[in-house]
Amino acid sequence: MEFLDRYQQIVADAVTKYTFKDKPTELYDPMNYIISHGGKRLRPIMVLMACDLFGGDLKQAIKPALAIEFFHNFTLIHDDIMDEAPLRRNKPTIHTLHGINVGILSGDGLMLKAYKFFEDLEPEIFKACIRIFTHTGLLLCEGQQYDINFETQENVTFDDYIRMITYKTGVLSASSFEIGALIAKANFKDAKAIFNFGKHIGIAFQIMDDYLDVFGDQAQFGKKHAGDIYENKKTVLYLMAREYATEEERKELDYWYSKKTDNIDKVYGVEKIFRRTKVDEKALRLIEKHNEIGQSYLQKIDAPEEKKKPFIELANYLLRRES
């Protein structure tokens, strides 16, 4: 997708331009380390895409787009500490290299630097963007806490799960689009429509993440295989497996999810139930459903169909992404 390459280059150039040269280097080098690994950088690209869709000035959107990228990476650093994750994007995590204290501090530093990147916006747009950005951060914290709660909570419903991933993942994608729209001075109706498009694409993205954790290619995914099973994460795969499992299989799931262990038998046992209940197929159908809902919001936006095409391509890309 040429449009994605173009936006990725804009973000990559901005990352290089705004590389941290501050001191102490023990704080800023880890921040540069995680930002430089890149990944797909989809969320800052979403800011730029929405700004373009509504005819805004991309130059005004570049620093807010980086703010989203810095904030996203702050959450990843802290997520990795909480999950005791050794890898991120196939590279050692910051706390693995530098210790938990540096991980916490460098994450905090990225979050605060993110706020500074909104400062050039005109006052009214600045206020609107900061309000969305802060609210998004709070929802993300709530989603993360729900995720932690689920590890020990006996009864987690499908609605609980959707709320958790909406807060933890969907809202950041949604807000990235909305911030781009606001910078371009889109009207309220269109800004909310692109928000809802992003929310459902973000939900699909997280379900795909859950799917790839178990069924993806570990080398391409860049994370520990079946990390969610090790961590007793009650993902959509687990919830659907429980719904469609036999009584005996449910008991086996309860047994494995009652203990946090690196025992390979646990992964093997849970994966076997996942495959028997065909949750891989069901998860892919659910991804498709949220993609369709998202695209229905896209169609409500008052913009030429030609300008909406990249959004459809991005959504479809997320459905078949491998990493």
pLDDT reported for residue 322: 43
Q: In whole angstroms, give the CA distance from residue 303 to residue 164.
A: 32
Sign of CA dihedral 273, 275, 278, 282: positive
pLDDT reported for residue 221: 59
Residue 80 confidence (pLDDT) above 90: yes
pLDDT reported for residue 231: 84
Helices (H), 117-221: 123-152, 158-165, 171-183, 188-215, 218-221
Give the pLDDT band (50/70/90) at residue 152: confident
Please classify residue 130 by burial: count the beta carbons closer than 10 Å to its beta carbon, then call 0-12 exposed, 13-18 middle and 19+ buried.
middle
pLDDT reported for residue 220: 62
Residue 151 confidence (pLDDT) above 90: no
Phi and psi of 91, rounded to 5°? -120, 155
Kindly state the average pLDDT of the residues 284-310.
Answer: 95
Please classify residue 189 by burial: count the beta carbons closer than 10 Å to its beta carbon, then call 0-12 exposed, 13-18 middle and 19+ buried.
exposed
Q: In whole angstroms, give the CA distance from residue 298 to residue 194.
A: 6
Residue 321 confidence (pLDDT) above 60: no
- Characterize 53-92 residue by residue with b for buried, 16 or more Cβ atoms within 10 angstroms of its Cβ, and e for exposed: bbebebeebbbbbbbbbbbbbbbbbbbbbebebebbeeee
What is the tens place of the pLDDT at every residue in 97-125?
999 999 999 999 999 999 999 999 999 99
Average pLDDT of the residues of the chain: 93
